[in-house]
């Protein structure tokens, strides 16, 4: 774009001729309006960001509480499982000891013969 020669500038027909002072005042009005809009947008942005952070913090606190409760339930379940395994191991050991005893073998022999006779008869 080359600068036009002095004196050859044509006035823009769409722009009314105004003095420099009026043009400056109009620009100041427009600038003030835009600054006001910018201020409102910034306030809205701050408020929205604050609300979003509060919502996220609240959700995070709820999730952390749920996690803590779930971990507590899991710990209690693991303790119950350990107790149940201990009882099962003790019962299996007692049963193995009982089956290894002479009394058990004699008792099985006494019970086994009548059971076979009943099945045949």
- pLDDT per residue as tens digits for the range 85-101: 999 999 999 999 988 88
What pLDDT score was predicted for residue 6?
A: 56
Question: Distance (Å, rounded) from C-alpha 118 to C-alpha 120?
Answer: 5
Closest CA to 89 of 99, 81, 77: 81
What pLDDT score was predicted for residue 1?
A: 47
């Amino acid at each position: 774009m080359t600068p036009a020669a002095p004196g050859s500038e044509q006035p823009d027909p769409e722009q009314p001729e105004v003095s420099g002072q009026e043009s400056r005042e109009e620009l100041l009005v427009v600038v003030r309006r835009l600054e006001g809009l910018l201020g409102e947008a910034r306030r809205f942005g701050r408020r929205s960001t604050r609300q979003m952070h509060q919502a996220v913090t609240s959700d995070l606190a709820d999730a952390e509480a749920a996690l803590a409760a779930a971990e507590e339930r899991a710990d209690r379940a693991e303790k119950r499982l350990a107790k149940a395994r201990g009882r099962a191991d003790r019962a299996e050991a007692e049963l193995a000891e009982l089956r290894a005893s002479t009394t058990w073998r004699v008792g099985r022999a006494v019970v086994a013969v009548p059971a076979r006779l009943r099945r045949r008869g």
